[in-house]
Homo-oligomer: A and B are copies of this chain.
Amino acid sequence: MSEHASLRARVYWWLERPDREARGPRLLEIALILLITANVTAVILETVSTIYAVWQPAFDVFERISLTMFIIEYAARLWVVPENPQNRSRRAWVVTPSAIIDLLAILPALLVLLFPVDLRILRAFRIVRLLKLTRYSPALGMLLAVFEEEAGAFFAGFFILIVMLVLAASGAWLVEHQVQPDAFGSIPAAMWWAVATLTTVGYGDVTPVTIAGKIFGAIITVLGIGMAALPAGILASGLNDQLHRRRSSMQAEFRRALEDGFICDAEEVEIEDLRKSLGLSYRAALQIRSEVEAEVQARLHLCPSCGRSLSDQKETSA
């Protein structure tokens, strides 16, 4: 970071950290994470009457301070947008997910300030500040990629779950509504039992009591558990697949680099960059490398066209 850079460029560098190893931005990031965590903790503790009664002034001061900080942060991020080398407009930045979260984090508090009514509900809404932490978790990116990737299967899984829920609730209503008019008096009421059963939560506050109801409940439970676990299974297997494909990309990179038989320094740097961008661990990369090396050597030493070793062949052709 040059000292002669404009103030805006400097703020950009501190806030958006293009240079991840720099010390200053790292400390600022940690400070912001601590502030968010403290804030969410405060929002949670405010709901405990005994604590709030005693510490109300402290909570109010802390809220005012952190609200100021979040407003400054939002303004600063909005101000430095043009410094981004990808040259997004401020308009485009405002509708990015993290910018929306940043806005939601200050909006309810601002409304409370403008219309000074003690809306406890609006205060509780400050809990969304928790989502500001998503900015700092790189692995979340992979999860979101999986969601996007498997959207089709995921939607199908949820669709099946909804169909199962409606059928389960309808069936339970049919067999139980006369005996338990409170819990199974209508399909929407029976839905509460269906959700608790098919997700295997099973509170037990509502259960079928008739023989027919128990038989129907048992059948729907046994059939349903496989269905209800589908979204989770799709997500997990998608993650597995994502990791697998990332490893394949790494493998392809090693193969390309090993074409000439060894990995030069420039190639090492490239490989390291790819490894980081794929979110692979150092150990995993090492294992992939040794596999590719073994594979390449096997190919080089034994000529696939004639079965002789490569060195012999070179002599012959010489």
Which chain A residues have a beta carbon within 8 Å of chain B's beta carbons?
Answer: 40, 43-45, 47-49, 121, 124, 127, 130-131, 133-134, 137-140, 142-143, 148-153, 155-161, 163, 165-167, 170, 173-174, 177, 185-189, 191-192, 195-197, 199-205, 207, 214, 217-218, 221-222, 225-226, 228-241, 243-245, 248-249, 252-253, 255-256, 259-261, 279, 281, 283-284, 287, 290-291, 294-295, 297-307, 310, 313-314, 317
**Nearest chain B CB to A307 CB, angstrom units:** 6
B139 touches A156 (CB 8 A): yes
Known A-B contacts A142-B156, A252-B295; A221 and B199 likewise in contact (beta carbons under 8 Å): yes
**Nearest chain B CB to A113 CB, angstrom units:** 21
Residues of chain B contacted by A142 (CB below 8 angstroms):
152-153, 156
Shortest 10 CB-CB distances between A and B: which pairs? A233-B236, A237-B240, A139-B156, A201-B202, A203-B204, A229-B232, A305-B305, A204-B204, A139-B152, A48-B186
Known A-B contacts A137-B156, A232-B233; A127 and B49 likewise in contact (beta carbons under 8 Å): no
A239 touches B237 (CB 8 A): yes
Give Cα distance in the complex from A192 to B211, angstroms: 10
**Nearest chain B CB to A78 CB, angstrom units:** 25
Residues of chain B contacted by A301 (CB below 8 angstroms):
259
Identify A47's interface contact among B158, B173, B243, CB under 8 A.
B173
**Nearest chain B CB to A53 CB, angstrom units:** 12
Give Cα distance in the complex from A189 to B45, angstroms: 10
